Amino acid sequence: MPQVKPKTARTSTFRAFRTGAAFERWLNANHARTDEVWIRIYKKGSGVPTITAAEALTRALGGTDANTAFLRPHGVPESVLWVLVSVTAGVCEEIVFRGYLQRQLAVLTGSVTAGIVLQAIAFGISHGYQGLAPMAITGSYGLVLGMLAWWRGNIRAGALAHAATDIVGGLTRF
């Protein structure tokens, strides 16, 4: 049986991008004809303009959304505030959607599954200001968090995961 040699950094071309916009242009032009890209990111202080790892990841996963860009923190004071708001939102939304609504819908329909699915739909719709695709993604998060709340019998793990997702999402997007 012949050996298949996997692609490695040694057989691939490294590319350096000065800006996130340049990387995004490359992605748009090449995503259909290549299955990987190796990115050279220079150290801070090297004097070479380069994108950061966080920006490369954000751009590769779809970039930023203009519908919510105004919500993201700019600077240290806003970042600290973002963390506090994220913790509050994580806890409060879990209380409302998984702690209350999911249980009420399960009792109303006579089905735990229906309660989980319906609260996830309501959760997604409540984030409609972000646009259709983010609303669907948020609804899927609600589905996972709903299953977690049902499995654990409480919302503590979901509140922690929810807050962490919001914190990381806000601090790493551009």
| Series of mean pLDDT values for 10-residue runs along the chain (174 residues) | 56 80 86 83 86 75 62 85 94 96 96 96 91 86 95 94 89 69
- Model pTM score: 0.61
What are the start-end ranges of the H helices in 17-111? 20-30, 53-60, 76-93, 102-109
* Residue 112 to residues 6, 15, 97, 151, Cα–Cα distance (Å): 46, 50, 14, 11
Q: What is the pLDDT of residue 62?
A: 65
Token pair listed for 59: 């751009």
Q: What is the pLDDT of residue 91?
A: 96
Q: What is the pLDDT of residue 126?
A: 94
Q: What is the pLDDT of residue 7?
A: 53
Q: What is the pLDDT of residue 86?
A: 93
* Domain locations along the chain: 14-60, 69-172
Q: What is the pLDDT of residue 65?
A: 59
